[in-house]
């Protein structure tokens, strides 16, 4: 709103008004009438601030020739006045969108405001001074009206807070960025079937709707209406309740499973390689390994086969009978049976029968005699030329 510069005529008018207060009153008294002191209007529309004056104590009902001086002011918040319209000496000056309802001169001095904005709210003052054709002051009056410009709710924005799964809880939010007075909110479900909601799930001041323990039947289109006394606006949100875990949960589970399998496979491979590395040194055959030593054998009494294999070792000393009677507690040496093939003695024959085999060992002692003496057969391993046991 732009204030009008005060012209010399306006300054003269203020001087005149100041002098008119000191002038002797005339028989007629001016009364300024306003039907209401508080008015409301809607932003973007227009409003008329009604005002008219009368002269009390007129001799005749006919309106004499008179010169009204009309000014409208807007009271700013900084306690300053802003002139919005002035009618002086038949000339009218005003702001854009401001005009008098009736052509002047007229006793109806109502003001029309168009293209209202919320900032146009506030007190408006009307000042009227009337002179007759002789220039005599016939009265002066001021009245104030209070204008309140209301703002309908701006289109709200709807949001879904939470994951809509069966058994979960979610919150639907709705908020209008601009409203005067503050908007109140109402949530309804339009599809597939109509349903309206109330407190405590619904907060009409904050515009939130709490839905708990979701089920598939709660899916649908939810509409939020923001409303005040001069307008309504709405928005909607679609609620789709899923029966399984969300895509994010499934993706996380798959990734976690793959990572776990990869770690397990790595541990198994590492353990296998480590065990193989420990087994390889034990299985290696060294070409430069030293052969085991040849066992020391008996001197002349030991018999070794021509091919280098130990065939038998017979101790002659063990086969000899003791020279004297055995001492009590003394152990009798046990002769060893030889694995060497000895020349078979001739078997004696009996009359009309098969020959009977008689086994004997060197020294002239039979195997049966050795058995009676308590001898035990012993197998002695052979040794190859390379020195290894066979």
- Pairing mode, if any, of strands 111-113 and 98-100? antiparallel
Residues 6+ apart with CB under 8 A from 285: none
**What would the pLDDT profile of 57-109 be if each residue is shown by its tens digit?**
665 444 557 889 999 999 887 768 889 999 998 899 999 999 999 998 899 99
**Helical spans, DSSP H, in 320-377:** 367-373
Amino acid 330: pLDDT: 46
Give the pLDDT of residue 270.
Answer: 83
Cα separation, 48 vs 61, in Å, equals 28
CB 123 within 8 A of CB 75: yes
Given a cut of 50, the residues of the chain with pLDDT beneath it are: 1-26, 60-62, 297-323, 326, 328-361
How many angstroms separate the CA atoms of 189 and 354, rounded? 121
| Nearest CA among 152, 171, 153 for reference residue 235 | 153
Question: In the prediction, which pLDDT does 250 show?
Answer: 59
pLDDT computed for residue 315 by the predictor:
40
Give me the pLDDT at residue 283, please.
54
> What is the pLDDT at residue 76?
83
**Domains identified in the chain and CATH numbers:** 30-150 (2.60.40.10), 157-239 (2.60.40.10)
Give Rg (Cα) of the chain: 65
CA dihedral for 238, 242, 247, 252, sign (positive or negative) = positive
Structure tokens at 335: 């002769």
Phi and psi angles of residue 23, each rounded to the nearest 5 degrees, phi first: -70, 150
């Amino acid at each position: 709103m732009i204030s009008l510069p005060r012209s010399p005529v306006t300054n003269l008018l203020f001087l005149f008004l100041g002098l008119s207060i000191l002038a002797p009153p005339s028989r007629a008294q001016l009364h300024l009438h306003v039907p209401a002191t508080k008015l409301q209007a809607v932003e973007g529309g227009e409003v008329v601030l009604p005002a008219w004056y009368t002269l009390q104590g007129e001799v005749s009902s006919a309106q004499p020739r008179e010169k009204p001086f009309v000014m409208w002011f807007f009271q700013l918040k900084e306690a300053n006045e802003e002139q919005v319209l002035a009618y002086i000496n038949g000339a009218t000056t005003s702001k854009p969108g401001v005009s008098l309802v009736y052509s002047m001169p007229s006793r109806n001095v109502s003001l029309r405001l168009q293209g209202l904005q919320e900032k146009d709210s506030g007190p408006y003052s009307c000042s009227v001074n009337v002179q007759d054709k002789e220039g005599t002051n016939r009265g002066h009056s001021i009245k104030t009206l209070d204008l309140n410009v209301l703002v309908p709710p701006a289109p709200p924005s709807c949001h879904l807070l939470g994951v809509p799964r069966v058994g979960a809880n979610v919150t639907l939010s709705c908020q209008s960025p601009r409203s005067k007075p503050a908007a109140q909110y109402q949530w309804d479900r339009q599809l597939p079937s109509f349903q309206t909601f109330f407190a405590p799930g619904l907060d009409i001041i904050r515009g939130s709707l709490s839905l708990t323990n979701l089920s598939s039947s709660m899916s649908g289109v939810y509409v939020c209406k923001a409303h005040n006394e001069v307008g309504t606006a709405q928005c909607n949100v679609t609620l789709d309740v899923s029966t399984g875990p969300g895509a994010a949960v499934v993706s996380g589970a798959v990734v976690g499973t793959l990572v776990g399998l990869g770690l397990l496979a790595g541990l198994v491979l590492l353990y296998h390689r480590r065990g193989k590395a420990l087994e390889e040194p034990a299985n290696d055959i060294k070409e430069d390994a030293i052969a085991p030593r040849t066992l020391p054998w008996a001197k002349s009494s030991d018999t070794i086969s021509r091919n280098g294999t130990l065939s038998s070792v017979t101790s002659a000393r063990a086969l000899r009978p003791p020279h004297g009677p055995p001492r009590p507690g003394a152990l009798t040496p046990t002769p060893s049976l030889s694995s060497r093939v000895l020349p078979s003695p001739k078997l004696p024959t009996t009359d009309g029968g098969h020959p009977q085999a008689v086994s004997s060992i060197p020294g002239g002692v039979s195997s049966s005699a050795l058995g009676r003496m308590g001898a035990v057969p012993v197998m002695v391993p052979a040794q190859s030329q390379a020195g290894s046991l066979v």
